[in-house]
Structure 1
Amino acid sequence: MSEPLRILVVEDEALILMQIEMMLEEAGHRVVGTAVTAREAIALIPETRPELVLIDLRLGDGSSGIDVAHAVRDLGGITAAFMTANARAIPEDMEGATAVIAKPFSDTVLGASLAYLKDCVRRPPPGAEVPSGMRVAPNWLASFAEMRA
């Protein structure tokens, strides 16, 4: 088995957070931290050094996952993806994130999305098609087309 992804989960609903953690660990990945607010997440990024940050859109204390996506983008070298029931509220450019996985999602959708994101992190460009239940930022996909050319 390949090295597990190091994942930071940003989710303010405790039960959903526990479910996501369990699903990630069962899929063989390592949850390096969790946060319920944008401020907590942004502070944890340099401390935990994740490869992937999974972000809910609406967070505790009224903060926004978009702020987390911007921080990840500004740091560089880390992949961010939204996991939200509000997928339509995310602009087409995804605010610097790579993708959005719509909630609720099944183990199958999460597994396929994680496999795709792992390829994005470890050996871009991804070889597989974008999985069902996931939307990818068009400009991000275009950057891979340029790599292939």
Structure 2
Amino acid sequence: MSDPLRILVVEDEALILMQIEMMLEEAGHSVVGTAMTAAEAIAQIEACRPELVLIDLRLADGSSGLEVAQAIRERDGITAAFMTANARQLSEEMEGATAVIAKPFSEAVLEDALAYLKACVRRPPPSEPVPNGMRISAECLARFDAMRH
């Protein structure tokens, strides 16, 4: 990949975190940090300046990915996406995140989602349809629609 995304992964299960990190790197992206709690993630956002933050909804120490998404919402130039088995718990607005990728997911689903998210980050609006296994927030869809017209 010519221009890899700088990604922070926020996941509380170590094995899943390592698997996601490996899949991202194999897809040509750069994992600039990892975190297992909301506090660690927010500190990592400041330290490594990612373009994309992939966030599990339920984190260690009883913290929530919602806290991370809220912190990202207040910063320019960073896109948040949830990766969770609890995707149905999120509203259509996804608490400020751009998208949700439902777990479990295959490597192909993750690669398609990353290509779409890269377009969201680098050259919005994405020209491709929303990939299978991924949902985009109503707010983002409306913003992309406005950009096209």
Which 4+ stretches in 1 moved above 4 angstroms? none
CA drift of 1:144 comes to 1.2
2:19 maps to which residue?
Answer: 19
Identity of aligned residues (%): 74
Q: Which residue of 1 aligns with 2:71?
A: 71
Offset, 1:90: 1.1
Distance 1:49 1:74 in 2: 13
What is the SS of the residue equivalent to 1:75?
coil
Q: Does 1:85 align with 2:85?
A: yes
Partner of 2:131: 131
Task: Please report how far the alpha carbon of residue 67 of structure 1 lies from its aligned counterpart in structure 2 after TM superposition.
Answer: 0.5
TM-fit CA distance, 1:116: 0.3
State the TM-score, normalizing by the size of structure 2.
Answer: 0.98
Question: Which AA in structure 1 matches 2:59?
Answer: L
> Once the two structures are superposed, what CA deviation does each residue of 1:21-80 show, in whole Å capped at 9, x if it has no partner?
000000000000000000000011011010000000000000000000010011121000
Q: The residue matched to 1:7 in structure 2 has which SS?
A: strand
Gapped runs of 5+ residues in structure 2? Answer: none
TM-score in terms of structure 1 length? 0.98
Unaligned 5+ residue runs, structure 1?
Answer: none
Counterpart AA for 2:38: A
Q: Superposition pairs for residues 1-149 of structure 1, below 5 Å?
A: 1-149=1-149
| Number of aligned residue pairs | 149
CA distance in 2, matches of 1:94, 1:138: 8
Q: CA RMSD in A?
A: 0.7
Question: Helix, strand or coil: the match of 2:42?
Answer: helix
